[in-house]
Structure 1
Amino acid sequence: MAEPYKNLAWDDFRLIRAIAEAKGLPAAAQQLGVNHSTVFRRLRQIEAALGTALFERHRVGYAPTAAGEEMVALAARLEEDITAFTRKVSGREPSPAGELRVTTNDSLLVHLLTPLFALFLEQCPEMRLDIVLSNQPLNLSKRDADVAIRATDSPPETLVGRRVASIGWALYGRAADFPEPGDLGMAALYQRRWVSLSEDLATMKVVRRVRENVAPERVAYRTNSVLGLGEAVEAGLGIGHLPCFIADVRPSLVRLAAPDPDLAADLWLLTHPDLRHAPRVRVFLDFMAAEIGRRRRLIEGVVHPGGD
């Protein structure tokens, strides 16, 4: 009789990885594009087939067991291998060609995406990228863009895609002003001069955090650009929250507090359902997911030069 674990499929590994990343079933279901009950049922089937628990349920969500962590790590390796195989085999088929219109924001473009776009064009020389900078969602249904790369906790229900990382945010100041940053508590830091994103970005969690804890007269500078916010902190205009992937690579900046999970934002690769199987879209999304995955620890604030 066949052993039950031999029935495990690639989708099972994707499911376990999604639960670990989302720390819960509803968010994992949303990421995978299925309903909550399907994720719950399949998790129980996988655990029964393996004869071991893959997650422990805590108040803050699902935490992988040792076996679960191994399966998540294997899923990551499998995804990389599958992507590499797809690229190799695609060389035997007509290469994707044509223009792809991609929308994202300025901070992601400058500090993360441009080198990845260059690598993509090296591998797909028949492709052309048209990058549209916007901090507001474009209408992919009307073909304002083919692909959106966005930091959001609530991607539009009309789009499909994948969550590729969680963007970590931490509090930073100019290194010259904080020779011993670990000696200051938040009570003292709230009394310093601050920079913040503008109130027209009030839906962002970092804006609410500053509004709730920093006196208005201590916010010396506001901007509606995350890119500009990093420049302001580096210029010594005040301390402020920044994405870790922007600030941690700047020697002139120093962390004043650890990354705050409550400020994190999910990074999504999104497209319209009608475009998801188009070769040029599929190849681009697979490539970007793999490359962003390799930089995930930096994006999430786990890798900290001079720290971790």
Structure 2
Amino acid sequence: MPVAWDEFRLVRAVAERGALAPAAAHLGINPSTAFRRLAAIEEELGARLFERHRSGYVPTPAGEAMAAAAARMEEEVARFDREVAGRALTPSGLLRVTAAATLVTDLLMPMLGRFRARYPKVQLELVVSEEALNLSRRDADVALRATRDPPPNLVGRRLATIAWAVYGPVRGETESAAWVSPSEAVAGGLFSRFVAERAGPERVALRINTVQGLCEAISEGIGIGPLPCYRGDRIAALRRLSGPEPELAGSLWLLTHPDLRQAARVRAFMDHVAAEVVPLRPALEGRHEEKQEERREE
């Protein structure tokens, strides 16, 4: 009897995660169910797929071959899904969008509301993630990302520059203030190196492994630190302590897989978001304070 596709997925999940519990969680099944299914697969094939060790499950050559076959099958299924999605004539169906938490709360959510009002036949699934999801596997259809180097296998549009500056509280001493900083895990350590060049380790009061929470930490007086200008300029309790820092500037990209760029719902969404970002560029690019200065001079 041929082995079912779900069994290939189970073997691949165990091989990638090295244990039954995380593999079962990934597939949305009970660990005991995963154990019974794996035993049944091995019995049916007449081959051992994993060596069981205290440290976890290690695939045998047969297990490695089955996991590799599952990966190829998954890629073919994803390619078929992309091809079918690309042939849709009108904006309808499910659209998966991914973005980091700060982009969702500060930029994307109002855009999603207006998009749904315009295209009610499109159902949206929002995946909030700091990590870059695999658009080739259809983990998402469209990604809104702040990055300097978008993946070469994706296509899309550069929407704006994202400027960063140093911010602190409106009141209070800033010359000898403590700092808050993104950790080394954020943007390859770009921000932590920036802070380290301006403050010794003893002056860093708080490190955060995401951009989310930086604004709140500075607002609470924990320390001064870098923020994207479109966030920092909106907070009445904060003030800029520097101009936009060129070494921290990034780009806002809207990306999709090449097979999906002509899909009606993807094309409609990308056109919609690109148009919505145009009036936001001054704030994203840190030109908000320049406009205030111009108004004062007038």
Q: TM-score, normalised by structure 1?
A: 0.64
User: Does the Cα contact within 8 Å between 1:95 and 1:124 map onto a contact in 2?
Assistant: no
Bigger Cα Rg: 2
Whole-angstrom distance in 2 between the partners of 1:251 and 1:307:
16
Cα 1:281–1:204 shift into 2, 3 Å: farther
TM-superposed CA distance for 1:128, in Å, is 1.5
* Aligned CA distance change for structure 1 residues 94 and 272 (closer, same or farther; 3 Å): closer
Alignment equivalent of 2:241, drawn from 256, 266, 269: 256
In structure 2, what is the Cα distance between the partners aligned to 1:293 and 1:124?
A: 20
Alignment of 1:60-209 (within 5 A): 95-177=90-172, 189=175, 191-201=176-186, 203-209=188-194
1:242 to 224, 227, 233: 227
Give the gaps of 5 or more residues in structure 1: 1-92, 179-187
Structure-2-length-normalised TM-score: 0.66
Q: 2:270 aligns with which of 279, 285, 307?
A: 285
AA aligned opposite 1:222: R
Query: What is the CA distance between 1:211 and its match in structure 2?
Result: 2.1
1:95/1:126 contact within 8 Å kept = no
Distance 1:145 1:204 in 2: 26
Aligned residues: 206
Q: Distance in 2 between matches of 1:106 and 1:299?
A: 16
| C-alpha separation in 2, matches of 1:250 and 1:306 | 15
The aligned counterpart of 2:252 is 267
Q: Give the Cα separation in 2 of the matches to 1:307 and 1:300.
A: 16
> Cα gap change, 1:202/1:290 in structure 2, threshold over 3 Å: closer, same or farther?
closer
- Please show how residues 292-307 of structure 1 align to structure 2 within 5 Å: 292-304=277-289, 306-307=292-293
Deviates more, 1:254-263 or 1:152-161: 254-263
8 Å Cα contact 1:202-1:208 kept in structure 2: no
Moved over 6 A (4+): none
Structure 2 residue runs without a partner (length 5+): 1-87
Match of 2:214 among 185, 210, 229: 229
**Does the CA-based 8 Å contact 1:175-1:253 persist in structure 2?**
yes
Would the aligned equivalents of 2:184 and 2:190 in 1 still touch at CA under 8 Å?
no
Q: Cα RMSD (Å) of the superposition?
A: 1.8
Deviates more, 1:196-205 or 1:287-296: 196-205
Post-superposition Cα deviations, 1:110-167, rounded to whole Å, max 9, x if no partner, equal: 1111111111111111111111111111000000000010000000001000100010
Could you say if the C-alpha distance between residues 132 and 200 of structure 1 is closer, same or farther in structure 2, counting changes exceeding 3 Å?
same
% identical aligned pairs: 48
